[in-house]
Amino acid sequence: MPQLYLLPIALALCVVAGCRPTEVTSPSDTAVPPPNVDAEIRLRDVFRRYQVASYYDDNGKVILQAPGANAFQSNEIETAPLSVHFDPHELAVEAYTARIRVLAHPDRTDHDVEHIDMTAWFDEPQSSHFDGQVLQHAWRSPVTDRLPLPRVLDDEVLRARLSAGLAGPPPQLEWLLADHPMQKLFTAETEFEWLRPASIDNTELQRISVTSRSERFVFWIDANTSLIRRVELPLPDFGVSGAGIDRSNWTLRLELQSATFQPPSAAPASTFPLPPRQPKLVRAFVPLPPPPPSELIGRSVSLRPLAMAISRQQGALWQGNDYLLVAAPPDNPPDRAAWLQSWMQAIPVLASPPFQHTRVFFVSSQRDVHDALRGLPASAASLVAPSLVDKLVRQLRLDAGAMALLQAETGRGENGQVLLSETATNASTLSNVFAVIRDAQAGIDVADRIQQNYDAIVRDYDEQLRKQQLN
C-alpha cells in the first residue's frame, strides 16, 4: 500500500521564548554519565530513532503547575492535550482545542499517486466550535514524495492558535518529521548534561538537561526504546497577565503518556474527535469577531447604594464625579497581584486633568487591596465594602476581576448610565476605559457607537467567511 512520507516542518515547534529554568539542578542531581556516551550525542540518537519511526502514538498532555498544587482539580494546575498519532497513512493531532487529521488514499487508476486529504477544526463549545468552520485541503501527490506538512500548518489562524498554547505546537511533530529536530538547541553555546536517573510508572529513565541561552529543557528518555516520556519546558512569557506574579518555581512539562513506537496487533477503532455538525467548509480559517457588547451598555442603574456606602465610610458623596468605575478584584491571590498592578498604573492617569472627574470604587474587603490604595489620590480611588453595594454589584453583574464604567446622569438623581462592561482588567480593557471616557466627554453617544462598531465587525466577518467558504 502507498506510504505516507512526511516533509520536515520549517517552523521551530518547541522552543518557547521568554522563560525561566523549570527545575533547579543541585549538585546531587548530576549523575556520572553512562560509559563512553556523550549527552549531546545520546539526544541526537534519540531524535534519529523518531525520524526512522514508521509508527508513533501518544496521549500527550502539557501541564502548567504552581508550587503546592497537588490536587488535579487545583486552580493552580492548567492542562491541555498535546497528542500525536502517526502511521504510514495518517497523521492525527490534538493540540489544545485544535484538531488536525491528514489521510493518504491510494489512487485506483495510478499506483504511483496518492490522494491527500487534510481536515482541521477547533473543538471548543464556547465558540460554537469556531463558528463551525472546518478547514479542508486536498491534493494529489506522488507516492514517493513526502507530505508537504508546512502546507498543512500554513493556515495563519491555525498556526497562531497552536503557537499561543502553553507549550506551542506539539514538539513530537518536529521529532518525527524534521530533518534536524530541535536544531536551535544544537549550537556551540548549548550545554548538555546528564542528570541522575528518575522513574515514571516504575520505569527508570535517563535524564538529559539542555540549556540554550536562557532556556532549559530536561528530556526523560527510556533507555531501551529511546522514547521520550517527559519534557520539562521553559515557562512562556506571560506578558501583562503575569505582571507582579512570582512564577520562578512554577513548572511546565509535557507528559507523553502511553507513548509507543509499537503499532497494535489489530487496528483499533478510531477515537479521533469528529468535526462539528453542519460544518462551514473553508479553504482558510476566518478569525472570529469578538463577543458582542454587554447588553448592560446604555442601561440606567441606581447609584444610591454606592452613594450611601461612600457617605457612611468617608462622610462624602461621590457627587462631582462625572464618570464612575466600579471594579471587583479576582479571588485568586496571584491573579489579584496582577490586577492590582494594572490599577496602580491606571489610577495616576485617571487622576490627571483629562480624567479628573473620574473616580474608581474597589468593591473589596481584601487587605492587599486596602494596602495598595495607600498613597494614591483619595479623589481618584476608594474602597467599598461588598456588603454595602451588593445590589449594585448584582445589577452590574460584576464578577471577580470585572469592572464597569458609568456616567452620572444629570437631572436624574443618583442614577448612572453604563458606558462599558469588561469581564477582566488588563492593559487592553483599561485602554478601552480611557477611550470611552474621551468619547463621552466629546458628546458621543457611546452605547450607540459601540453597537455600530460591533455591527460593522460582524458584517466584515460574514463577508470574509463567504469568500473563504468552499462551494
Taking only the tens of pLDDT, the chain with its 471 residues reads 334 433 333 333 333 333 333 333 333 444 445 657 899 999 999 999 999 999 999 999 999 987 765 544 444 688 999 999 999 889 999 999 999 999 999 988 888 999 999 999 999 999 999 999 999 999 998 888 777 778 888 999 999 999 999 899 999 998 998 888 898 999 999 999 999 999 999 999 999 999 988 889 999 999 999 999 999 999 877 654 454 556 677 899 999 999 999 999 887 777 788 899 899 999 999 999 999 999 999 999 988 888 777 765 554 445 556 899 999 999 888 788 888 888 988 988 888 888 878 889 999 988 888 888 776 776 778 888 898 899 999 999 999 999 999 998 775 557 889 999 999 998 889 999 999 999 999 999 999 999 999 999 999 999 999 999 997
Adjacent-strand bridge partners of 369: none
Burial of 214 from C-beta contacts in 10 A (0-12 / 13-18 / 19+): exposed
Instruction: Collect all residues with Cβ–Cβ distance below 8 Å to 270 and sequence separation of at least 6.
Output: none
Structural contact between residues 408 and 322, judged by C-beta atoms closer than 8 angstroms? yes
> With b meaning 16 or more CB within 10 Å and e meaning fewer, what string describes 98-112?
bbbbbbbeeeeeeee
pLDDT of residue 22: 37
Q: Give me 55's grid cell.
A: 509508527
Residue 109 is placed in which grid cell? 487508476
Sheet strand arrangement including 215-221: 191-200, 203-212, 215-221, 228-233, 251-260, 56-65, 77-87, 90-95, 98-106, 113-122, 133-142, 280-282
Q: How many Cα atoms occupy the beta-carbon half-sphere of 313 within 13 Å?
A: 19
- Cα 202 to Cα 305: distance, rounded to the nearest angstrom: 61
Residue 404: DSSP 8-state: E
**Which distant-in-sequence residues (6+ apart) come within 8 Å of 402 by Cβ?**
327, 328, 421, 422, 423, 424, 425
| Prediction pTM value | 0.80
- What's the confidence (pLDDT) of residue 24? 35
Predicted local distance difference test score (pLDDT) of residue 314: 52
- The predicted pLDDT at position 69 comes to 52
Angle subtended at Cα 309 by Cα 304 and Cα 312, rounded to the nearest 5 degrees: 125
The DSSP call for residue 87 is E
Q: What gap in Å lies between CA 243 and CA 335, rounded to an integer?
A: 9
SS3 279: coil
Residue pair 113/95 in contact by the 8 Å Cβ criterion: no
pLDDT in tens, 170-216: 999 989 988 888 989 999 999 999 999 999 999 999 999 999 888 89
- The pLDDT score that the predictor gives to residue 6 is 35
Query: What pLDDT does 73 receive?
Result: 43
Question: What does the block give as the cell for 452?
Answer: 455600530
375-390 tens-digit pLDDT: 677 677 888 889 889 9
